[in-house]
Amino acid sequence: MTYKVIMDTDPGIDDAAALSMALNDPQIDLQLITAVAGNVTVDKTTKNALTIDNFYGKHVPVAGGAKTPLIKEFEDAARIHGASGMAGYDFPEPTDKAIDKSAVEALHDAIMASDEKIVLVPTGSYTNIALLFIQYPEVKDHIEKIIAMGGSLGHGNMTSAAEFNVFTDPHAAKIMYDSGVPIVMVGLDVTMKALITDETLETIDKFGRAGHMLHEIISHDFDHNENGTAVHDANTIFYLLHPEAYTTKDYWVDVVTDGPANGETVADVRGAYHDGKTNASVCVDVDAAAFNKWFIDEVKNFKD
């Protein structure tokens, strides 16, 4: 089975890993890459998306998007990903340029032109998606589902409550979760379990230029503990291809947009507040060994 996919992203080390999988896996027909401000500013995330695209000799269209969140002040994560967003490897300059469309226009045109429904995979803040749904609500019927990295059921990595992607633009996250489009939430509940082990890193380093590049940037990621490194965004692609590796629960997920819990994703775990309705399938557990095996197999099969 082949999936028609659009990635909305803010590369970012873990975004670069997710893009690597999406660009190279034969089951994925990547239609478009859109960039958003998040890990670093949007000029850098756009360049980084082009860089990864061209690194593999691909020419998937890339469009730059939102420079700032809808309302909240922008706060990046350069402390984790480095000033460029993809520290740790000396990439050649990309040869392609971003297309002459905004991310919202490019998303609209690609979704509406597709002969089958699109799987939308956001791995950064959701600003572009919120703007798309505001300006072109008709696209919702043409999206099969959204597989979104972000959120959590009880702990954050920006505050004790909020995960980074949702914290970056909580108002956009609320618009996305209230959109009615089927959503899979791939949050910290699983991405902090599916760590890339040091053994996996040493293994992929043997797999040519691409394996070495991924080894270098992931090794530079400071989201690391004694069990391995969190490559959060790659979980979206693993879920797309292997949903059986995840345990999910259906909840209504609300997004807090102000106060000390700004950016928190709150699941109605008792089904008490939304008349039994749900708006997201939330990943709550993952087969971490299968994730590592898949990661190794994917990189091993990349064409240098």
Residues labelled as active-site residues: 232
Cβ proximity of 66 and 25 under 8 Å: no
H/E segment holding residue 189: helix 188-191
In this structure, which amino acid lies at residue 194? A
Among 269, 284, 256, smallest CA distance to 152 is for 284
* Per-residue tokens: 86: 């993809």
Its sign, for the CA torsion 15, 286, 198, 292, is negative
Cβ proximity of 131 and 89 under 8 Å: no
H helix intervals, the chain: 13-24, 42-55, 78-81, 103-113, 127-135, 164-168, 170-177, 188-191, 198-204, 208-220, 234-241, 288-300
* Per-residue tokens: 247: 């345990």
Backbone angles phi, psi at 294, to 5 degrees: -60, -45
Angstrom distance (rounded) from CA 187 to CA 5: 20
Cβ proximity of 14 and 123 under 8 Å: yes
Backbone angles phi, psi at 222, to 5 degrees: -85, 0
Cβ proximity of 161 and 263 under 8 Å: yes
DSSP letter for 245, please: G
Backbone angles phi, psi at 28, to 5 degrees: -115, 125
Cβ proximity of 146 and 181 under 8 Å: yes
Angstrom distance (rounded) from CA 46 to CA 54: 12
